[in-house]
Structure 1
Amino acid sequence: MTFDRSLKIAPSILSADFANFGQEIQAVEAQGADWVHVDVMDGHFVPNLTFGPPMCAAIRKHINTVMDVHLMIAPVDPYIDAFAEAGADVLTAHLEAGPHVHRTLQAIRGAGCKAGLALNPGTGIEDVDYLLDMVDLICVMTVNPGFGGQKFIHSQIDKVRRLREKIGDRPIHIEIDGGITPETAPLMVEAGADVLVAGSAVFKGGSVDDPGPYGENIRAIRAACGN
């Protein structure tokens, strides 16, 4: 992965057809996805259960872009190596998921992945100051983590703007996860985001047999952001 601040659309496979992940990933990449976002939930840190390392390993061979794995789990440290071995390019852990986030970020980079740090809607950005040289990506949650299809929390726009100022010229992506649509996407890009996770906004109306709507949806988000 080489760093650039161009707009990247990262469809979340949480909104894909679970019985056809391989085909869904191939279809959405062919329709213009830049990254593939994988939401890992443990039923403990967040109120839902999704995928483990074996699923990530199974879909890795279908991903030609970037495998962006979002770990909504606690504790997170014991699972870093397994998800790295499953093929994650980016591993994102929540600041709130454990007491030693600096160690967690060290472990992610030590496992050969780009290190992401996720912030829940109720979390401030003060704790980020001493972590900026440890991260490759900061994921701002614009919904409460755990389920897709939630409404966008507008208070996070200012958080992104303030984060962008803190980051300065460091090579750190700002990713937005939750409630991204053609209406909310430009608000986040204007504030400084460059990676937009979109689930239902990308996958709605399409299927592996009719993937055209995936491309239409991706292009609509890009166009709304002036891309």
Structure 2
Amino acid sequence: MITLPVPAKYPAGKTAIAPSILSADLLNLGEKIKQAQEAGADWLHIDIMDGLFVPNLSFGPATVKAIDGFAGLAQDVHLMVENPADFIEPFIKAGASSLTLHIESKGDLKKLLEDVKAHGLKCGVSIKPDTPVKELMPFADLIDLILVMSVYPGFGGQKFLPSSPAQISAVRDIITQTGRPVWLEVDGGINAETASAAVKAGADALVAGNAVFGQSDIKKALSDIRAAAETSI
């Protein structure tokens, strides 16, 4: 297991770029991850879908275990699942660096997050576009990452929602109030054009799928996103 880093500068520092393997060529996943790592990716984003919480299926613990033994990158495992309690132990054992749970999922979220932390992992909470940010408050002093979905979760390739900057900004205010180094990560429709809007609103970590793995030149694609983000800090 590789540890997820803490923000380099609080409250908003050098932007981290986390390519999402959901958009990678699965027949050549190892090679694509290697290219992303060599291009300067900060960590990998692993979307786990159960076909219930979202209408899609994706990866399991075996994928995370394989990546943990292959790549020198942390893995932020995003549990888009109805019952996260069923998934936490398998992904911890597989080598996840952090587990991000949805605030809209079932179960005692605080207890589940505490369980993740007790195993030495970072933990995060994700919110959908229509979820009020005030629902994050009970967990703000516990979590290491807040993931704002800038699309409706379940499928890659969607467009960045115009309402996202306002939600990102409101989440940044919550993080600032805690006085803690919490990542504000944004996932959905991130590319060289939308990265700027996300960072200006307060994001310091960006998940990019098609904008990285859907391009023929992964190094240039990642570089373009980073340049757009860092000129907006």
Q: What range describes the TM-score normalised by the shorter chain of this pair? A: over 0.9
Q: Equivalent residue for 2:141?
A: 133
Kept after mapping to 2: 8 A contact 1:89/1:114: yes
Counterpart for residue 191 of structure 2 = 181
SS of aligned partner of 1:139: strand
**How many angstroms does 1:183 deviate by?**
1.1
What's the RMSD between the two structures over aligned residues?
1.2
Q: Secondary structure of 2:141's partner?
A: helix
2:163 corresponds to 1:155: yes
- Are 2:13 and 1:3 aligned? no
What SS does the aligned partner of 1:225 have?
A: helix
Deviations 1:42-101 (A, max 9, x none): 101001001111121112112212111111011001210110111111110100011421
Measure, in 2, the Cα distance between the counterparts of 1:65 and 1:57. Answer: 12
Tell me which residue corresponds to 1:60: 68
Q: Which has the higher contact order (CA 8 A, sep 6+)?
A: 2
Secondary structure in structure 1 of the residue aligned to 2:71: coil
Distance in structure 1 (CA, Å) of the matches to 2:32 and 2:223:
17
Partner of 1:226: 230
Normalising by structure 1, we get a TM-score of 0.94
Which runs of 5 or more residues in structure 1 are unaligned?
A: 207-212
| Residue of structure 1 equivalent to 2:30 | 22
Gaps of 5+ in 2: 8-12
2:209 aligned residue: 199
Percent of paired sites with the same residue: 43
Say whether residues 1:166 and 2:174 are aligned partners: yes
Alpha-carbon distance, 1:200 to partner: 0.5
Contact 2:15 2:230 in 1 (8 A): no
The CA distance in 2 between the partners of 1:97 and 1:110, in whole Å, is 21
Q: Distance in 2 between matches of 1:143 and 1:195?
A: 16
Alignment partner of 1:215 out of 193, 196, 219: 219
* Residue-pair matches, total: 221
Contact 1:77–1:107 (CA under 8 A) maintained in structure 2? no
Find the partner of 1:105 among 113, 134, 147.
113
TM-score normalized by the length of structure 2: 0.91
- Secondary structure class of the residue paired with 2:44: strand
Secondary structure of the structure 2 residue equivalent to 1:152 = coil
How far apart in 1 are the matches of 2:40 and 2:49?
Answer: 26
* 1:45 match: 53
